[in-house]
Copies of this chain bind each other. A is one copy, B any other.
Amino acid sequence: MKAAFLIASAVATLFAGAAALAASQEPIQPIAPAKVRNPAMVELGKKLFFEPRLSRSGFISCNSCHNLSMGGSDNLKTSIGHNWQKGPINSPTVLNATLNIAQFWDGRAKDLKEQAGGPIANPGEMAFTHELAVDVLKSIPQYTSEFRQVFPNGKVDMANITQAIAAFEETLVTPNARFDKWLKGDRKALTAQEVRGYQTFKNAGCVACHNGPAVGGNSFQKFGIVEAYKTASTAQGRMAVTGKDADRFNFKVPTLRNVELTYPYFHDGEAATLHQAVDTMARLQLGRTFSDGELNDVVAFLKTLTGEQPNFKLPILPPSSDSTPRPHPFND
Contact = CB atoms under 8 A, between A and B. Distances in A.
A57 B71 CA distance: 18
A320 B275 contact: no
A296 to B, nearest CB: 12
B59 A319 contact: no
Contacts of A317: 69-70
B322 A69 contact: no
Contacts of A311: 313
A67 B309 CA distance: 21
Nearest to A50: B69
Which of under 10, 10 to 19, 20 to 34, or 35 or more describes the interface residues of A? 35 or more
Interface stretch (A222-230, A285-293, A323-331): A323-331
A76 B329 contact: yes
Contacts of A70: 52, 317, 319
Contacts of A322: 272-275
B261 A326 contact: no
A263 interface: yes
Most chain B Cβ neighbours within 10 Å, of A53, A260, A317: A317
A58 to B, nearest CB: 6
A80 interface: yes
A129 interface: no
B84 A58 contact: no
B273 A316 contact: no
A158 to B, nearest CB: 22
Nearest to A82: B84
A57 B84 CA distance: 10
B326 A272 contact: yes
A86 interface: yes
A260 B319 contact: yes
Interface of A: 50, 52-53, 57-59, 64, 67-71, 74-76, 80, 83-84, 86, 260-261, 263-264, 272-275, 309-317, 319-320, 322, 326-327, 329-330
15 contacts: A52-B67, A53-B75, A57-B80, A59-B74, A59-B76, A69-B315, A76-B327, A84-B330, A264-B326, A272-B322, A272-B326, A273-B322, A275-B322, A311-B313, A313-B314
> What 7 A-B pairs come out closest when comparing CB atoms?
A84-B84, A309-B316, A273-B322, A69-B317, A261-B319, A314-B314, A59-B80
